[in-house]
Structure 1
């Protein structure tokens, strides 16, 4: 009678690799989402800054054209 056994190491290694892959994918997705979020936040802050700056320049140019000083 020959003793045959099934080596389960490849299955365990495959399932561990699959689990590791899933964990790695979740971590990579979380990092990617955070990076995109930071980029969008930066773009929004930059846009708000330039809108505010453009508004101030526009107001200043209106004051310059209309003139706040008393005429001579």
Structure 2
């Protein structure tokens, strides 16, 4: 069974972005920020975007891998 780190990295390497809600839905991953931090420490260039919440006030993070994609 793949771990959250490999699942998130695979998703990002496909040129997709990922939010916490999507990580829960797709990978049952409730600690996305921790996974992103581990990937950054391994040298992956992952940027964070702040998005407005659709149902209430405030923002949430959306992550994107920059410059490294798989065909």
TM class by shorter chain equals under 0.3
Query: TM-score, normalised to structure 2's length?
Result: 0.19
More helix by share: 1
More strand by share: 2
For CA contacts below 8 A with separation 6 or more, give which structure has more relative contact order: 2
